[in-house]
Structure 1
């Protein structure tokens, strides 16, 4: 099962940590021991800000003191109200504030960066629809001349940051695009529709804390007969609905592996 957090999850986490910890000293430790050196540097310092870029989290403790976290496939950054319990399992980093504490487990990255290193990492990432500084023109410049299929481009974090398997499947369905359409075969009007739809879903996902992509008129409960047995049918159109009827046209949802990731689409609605 693919459970990698997508961009909306990391932005929501950044907003939560900013509200609970920013502007006050934070105790930082590494119970597991793999982030001990970095934790000792920022321990007791004031957390000035927390931001997200795609699937990357940046905790800013001051000049040249940026803790970078990438949750990867298995990472979790749980937040709880104090008093804190004894660490359980492999806790890479623990941060403790006035009222809350958070344990980071299983990330693919947890490291201390300088400002220059953090800036370089931001530069390697693509435009994030959830950031105020997102520039769709830069995305169009990359996609519009690419021979790669949209199925690849949407998952390329150097093109658009924060999109994962669920949002890829759902935005391609909602905009009626074949996943194998190449970037250079996409006209500007359809790109604008794709960017707008992706932005809308990410914003809504960040607000709700979950992914629900169905439009009201396609709620399975309104179908005759109701599609009550479909896995994930109450929240998504295509993702993990292999072989089940499309909620719009009834054609079975297709599945294939593309670049080692699962791809789902409707061959009738996305032609």
Structure 2
């Protein structure tokens, strides 16, 4: 039974010419957890993922995945991970089932057809198995992409902004899939710039800003960095996303009626 963290990063640095992208990143991800790496565009999220997945070499620092050093044991690291990038890496000419079979064959696994059928059922894609991926919705493509990432059952999954470009309904579908994977014991490192995504999914959140981790903790721990809220009551109108989901039947209109919310005029305490 493993006791070490699934991912351990210490002092990771990376520069492109004069531009310093990572400035000593330290990060620990517990096994079987969803850990969100939160940051704005250009914060260094994708660079971190590319280094961890052996697609890019760090300038300094160390990183270990499932006990394997990224720099000295890249083959072992690649065998322990899977990566789903910002855009679904699926072949639109092939059917969903053919995409899955192809990956299973490339991994030289026994019975690729059965593996494909099991994943199609698991990700609720059986009815679309014989359709070309070009006809899939954004959410279906993303679910297929994640299913392809699970072939070979890697213990660690990197999701680099998995809901970029998806509509609200598709985002919810992907969130459900991610929660189910974590429930099965998989370790997931999720990069996102969406605050609600991190809040909905993550067991722990790290905030990456200008190449450094400036805050790390559970949602409750991060909230504790702020002083108690000064309570005032304001009428909260439903957002357009709330209205959209209610209209298409994914939430009840009664759940989005105006409600009282609390606000605060105080500022965050320094961590």
Q: TM-score, normalised on structure 2?
A: 0.25
Whose relative contact order is higher, 1 or 2, with alpha carbons under 8 Å and at least 6 apart?
A: 2
Query: Which structure has greater helix proportion?
Result: 2
Query: Which structure has greater strand proportion?
Result: 2
Q: TM-score, normalised on structure 1?
A: 0.25
